[in-house]
Each structure stands twice: as structure tokens, then as C-alpha cells.
Amino acid sequence: MSTLAALGWGPYFSAQLSSEEASTLLVGRVVADRGRRLRVRFEAGDRLAIVPGHLLGAEPVPVAGDFVLTTPGEPPVIARVLERRSALSRNAAGRATVEQVLAANVDVVLVVQGLDEGAHPRRLERTLAAVHASGAEPAVVLTKADLVPDLGEALAEARAAAAGAPVLVASGVSGEGLDALAGLVGPGRTAVFVGPSGAGKSTLVNALLGRAEQPVGAVRARDVRGRHTTTARRLFELPGAGCVIDGPGIRELRLWDAGGLAAAFDDVAALAAGCRFRDCRHAGEPGCAVAGAVEAGRLDAGRLESLRKLEREAALQEARRGGAAARAEKLRWRPIKKAQRRMYRDRDRG
């Protein structure tokens, strides 16, 4: 298998190349983000490629996992980012409404949760909604199982939140669950680890690689929180084929859109099909099948409230995105309108 094929290159990406691009540019995959320079893996090996200024302010900005076209010179310059098959995004930290793409062209997102903090079903639901919106498959990976008093109860909580997504128990220290974890990746596929700092993501990456590639650190004793030991996203090729992307810890994904809510809460959607009214909001309407399931103990009330909270957040996010788009459009037209006013003023004076 060629280097690019092992990295996931296939017809979806090759079909995007024109004959001229195929003959004059190099194809590579971004394996590490280094600011204005990205480490890109080509058939002939890794090279640092320059991100030109016009790409930094455009969409999409290249990130770990992207397939890119570069010039053949030294250093190579990124000419184009190929269209992505999937993109794991969140609203960037801070008050601005800005999409931050965490990883591109991912097949499976491994949501890691350390059981020293508990199963955290509400956090899992939020993260899984973002994963479903990305176009990738989700899987939940529970670590530090030796630190939870009742593993069966923790598994039940995680499975209820996962809505059918695989839930694994794994340890990068003992090796438990590593074969099942590697089986989710497979030849030509890419996985990305997400989860809070200290959950054990980098330890799992090192175990899958069979070497200490990523730094790991102990959690703080006073609050059992992890420290950021991984500072940038990197893509690694696994010995048994397939790739994994590891990156800084993310305690909570702020939703970028509502596209993954239906899949993340498909059990609620299935119940809602039995409601008397098609537009039932499950908030006290007569004949509400969802409320009936909560009363009968077949649906956790916390899960329904979690869905409502995420729906409100997604609606607010959509309104903010619309406002941000309107502001951007206004700014785009501002210099044009100024030029028009100058033109009319000069014409009237003439």
C-alpha cells in the first residue's frame, strides 16, 4: 500500500484534482499543525509546508487530517485544501461566533472519558451530538475503570447516553480493550481522540503505537483534573494500518450546529413518533409519548432535559451565526458603498 493510500487517500479526493494539478502539484496530508507551517506527509516523506497569507483568512484553513496540494519547491507552499469528507468542529472559545475545525477527514471519533470523574452522561451527549454533525462515526472509550466503585453502573450510564454508539473500556497501561480500539480504526481509516485533559488519550495513543510518542502527565491531586501535556494536534500512523489524531484536551464541545442532535437522541425521536401531536414539544402536551416514557421510567428525565438544553443552545447559536453572517456581509459591502459615494460625489462636482 502506498503512503497516501495508508493515510486514507482514495477516489473521493483524487476526483477533485484537475489534470493540470495532478501533473504540477504534490499531494500530501497534514500530520501536524505548527502555525504558519504545517508538517505534511507526501509519498516521499514529511516536509514543512508554508500556509500562505490568503489561506489563513479563507475557508477552509488547513488543519490536521486535511489533504492538500502544494508546490514542489523548497519549502513547499500550500496551493489548495481539498474538500473534506468530514470535519469535527466546535464554536471557538470566547464570545465570538467562529467555527473551529479540530480535525478533518476523520472516520471515527473516539470520545474518551475517565471514570475517575464518573461517566458524565450529559457531557457525552453533548460531545456525541457534535460528532454526529461532523459526518464521522462516534465511539465512547471509558478509561480508569479501576477507579470507579461500580463499573457496571458506569457502563449502563455511558451506554444510555451513547444512543447505540459503541462503548468500550480500555487502558493504555494494562492493555485492556486495545485490540477492540484498534479494530475501530482499520486500514485506510482515521480516528481522532477527544475528551478532557487527564482522561488518558495520549496514553492510549502511545499504547496503540507501541512507543512513548506523546507526553503524558498526572492529574492534579486537589481536583483530579488533568494538565495539558499535548499542545498541538498530530496524526500518527498505527503499526497495524490506520491513523489516529491526538490533540489538546477539550472538556466540553460548544455546539457549532444542530445537525447531530437527531442522531445523538434517536431514542427520544423514536418515542416522539408516538406523540398525539406532530409538533409536540414534550412539555406537558396531552398524549405526549416522551413524557409518558419518562413517567414510566423508560427514559431518563435528565436525558430529555439535556436534549432541551442543547436544542436551546443550538437555536441561539444559529441566531448568532445569522447575525455574524449579516455583519460580515455588511463589512464586505462597506468599501464598495464608499467607492460608490465617492464616484457620485466626483460626478456631481464635474
User: Annotated binding residues for GTP, as ranges?
Assistant: 143-146, 195-203
Place of cell 442532535: 261
Helix (H, G, I), strand (E, B) or coil at 306: helix
Helix (H, G, I), strand (E, B) or coil at 269: helix
Phi, psi of 192 (to 5 degrees): -130, 140
What residues have CB less than 8 Å from 299, skipping those under 6 apart? 267, 268, 271, 290, 293
Phi, psi of 313 (to 5 degrees): -65, -40
DSSP class of residue 65 equals T
What residues have CB less than 8 Å from 193, skipping those under 6 apart? 110, 112, 141, 201, 204, 205, 244, 245, 246, 247
Residues annotated in the binding site, as ranges?
143-146, 195-203, 275, 280, 282, 288
State the DSSP string of 210-229.
TS--S---PPPTTT-PPP--
- How far, CA to CA in Å, does 150 sit from each of 82, 163, 167, 172, 178? 47, 21, 16, 20, 22
Contact 124, 226 (CB under 8 A): no
Give bridge partners of residue 168 from the DSSP assignment.
141
Contact 192, 65 (CB under 8 A): yes
Residue 241 zone, left/alpha/beta (φ > 0; ψ -120 to 50; rest): left
Phi, psi of 89 (to 5 degrees): -125, 160
Asked if the bond preceding 286 is cis, omega within 30° of 0, the reply is: no
Phi, psi of 236 (to 5 degrees): -120, 140
Contact 187, 105 (CB under 8 A): no
Residues annotated in the binding site for Zn(2+), as ranges?
275, 280, 282, 288
Contact 103, 113 (CB under 8 A): no
